[in-house]
Amino acid sequence: MSADLHADTADIADVTDAVDVVCLGESMVTFVPSSPGRLADVPAFSRGIGGAESNVACSLARVGHTARWISRVGADGFGDHLVAEIAAAGVDVSYVRRDPDRPTGIYFRTAGERALTDAHQGEEPVSEVVYYRAGSAASAMSPRRVPRERAWSGRVLHLTGITAALSDDCHTLMRELTARAPGRPLLSFDVNYRTALWRGRDCRLLLDLARGCDLVFVGEDEAVAAWGLRGADAVRAALPEPAVLVVKQGSAGATAYARQPDGGDAVVFEPALDVDVVASVGAGDAFAAGFLSGTLRGLPVAARLRHGHLMAAAALTVPGDLGTPPSRERADGLVALDAGAWGTLRFGPGWTDTGTPGTVRAEVPHP
């Protein structure tokens, strides 16, 4: 295996009867306006689901991996809806617990209007999100309520910084699950910094959690907002511990730092795809799912990054949190393109629906 294609799959634990990935965290029912505009002005909402960790689980299940979601939801209709929808995506929900005393979290956000602002109009798309999650069932997760052997029941455990901010018990749970101990699976951690959740709290707690993990995802914008770190190299300098660090750089692309046997890093950059954005919600989760899929398959780091970009493109071109990912065969064909051909790809709404004429851009070849 060449140095710049070093894979970390050898570190994935061999757990008897394990699923590929366990994703632990809160999912909420989301309400999206039926038409674009301010939340104060729209007359009706449609219902969906949203949650960073369950988004990753659903995306992985849809491309053929076994995924398990662990969480708590209320003993209410919203909890019923969440569990049913996530299970329908092929995710194992057997470790989700119902809380008779706490509600399922919900949130409202603006409709997924395209971020295709005309320069001559000079208007920015409206963006509002209002959460009703304080005291939710998921905020009651704790080491007592989520036994470590359940959370460690996959080859990979995927966590995010959102969970750490939900409550003190949740933060304690995160500390326990990321502790290095025999039997720990590969730990994947998406920083997922949310300003509202960390207001008045020490964001260095996120840095501490990330240092204890094997694979870390963080956006350059998040690193600036949470820790005052500017640039991918500065993030790596602050996070030397993870075997693989992925710094997402928005529309430019993403850089991965993969530790090599000699202790140094292979640094791999892959440019992002040209996408007609409908809504950005869920794109980061989709990117993580694509990268994790490549990791589970033992693909080179560059290919993992490209799979992340493809999954993100699927999410960016739909109004909801979850896009329909391309088939594995089609994704592999696109990932195998040379740099020039990859740079010419352009994706619009419907590009993964190969059975609908006219929705796939001509520049996107079929394998």
Residues tagged active-site: 285
Let me know: does 212 contact 187? Beta carbons within 8 Å: yes
Element (H, E) at 156: strand 154-160
> How open is the CA angle 295-301-304, to the nearest 5 degrees?
55
Task: Please state the φ and ψ torsions of residue 133, each to the nearest 5 degrees.
Answer: -130, -10
The Cβ of residue 95 has, within 10 Å, a number of other Cβ atoms equal to: 17
State the first-to-last Cα distance of the chain, in angstroms, to the nearest integer.
26
Distance, CA of 99 to CA of 136 (rounded, Å): 9
Residue 160: helix, strand or coil by DSSP?
strand
Instruction: Please give the DSSP secondary-structure letter assigned to residue 113.
Output: -
Residue 173: helix, strand or coil by DSSP?
helix
Closest CA to 347 of 311, 322, 319, 305: 311
Q: What is the largest CA-CA distance in the chain?
A: 60
Distance, CA of 17 to CA of 21 (rounded, Å): 12
Radius of gyration of the chain (CA): 20
Residue 225: helix, strand or coil by DSSP?
helix
Instruction: Please give the DSSP secondary-structure letter assigned to residue 64.
Output: T
